[in-house]
Amino acid sequence: MLYLFLKHNRLSGSVVLTQLPSSLCLLFLSNNQFSGALDLTRLPSSMSRLYLGNNSFSGTVDLSQLPQGLEELDLADNRLSGEVFISDALFDGVEVENTKLIKRHMK
């Protein structure tokens, strides 16, 4: 499976992102009613675009182990909070509008 488009539905519940198919490149889950914590530490290395915006995900999020080929990550309009340590290069491709994340430089 290369692509999974489930955006703009009324899907709800938690999402397990740690056991996705290794060949998955694009995952669109935006504009649903998903909730719970997000574990982005074991995404497939093939993942280039991940859209999780406009849901009700909550808690902190670890962006330190994202796939190197990830070009776009949309976390906008969720209930995420806390500090995130990410590089400047990655931050340009991350959409966090209306999300309480604070950018801090990695050491």
Question: What is the rounded average pLDDT for all residues in the chain?
Answer: 84
Task: Please report where in the chains the tokens 């990655």 appear, as a residue.
Answer: 90
> Could you give the count of Cα atoms lying within 13 Å of 100 in the half-sphere of its Cβ?
9
Domain that holds residue 84: 3-104
- CA pair distance 42, 6, nearest whole angstrom: 20
Give how many domains the chain has, as a whole number.
1
Q: What is the pLDDT of residues 36-75, one digit of tens each?
A: 999 999 999 999 999 999 999 998 888 888 898 888 899 9
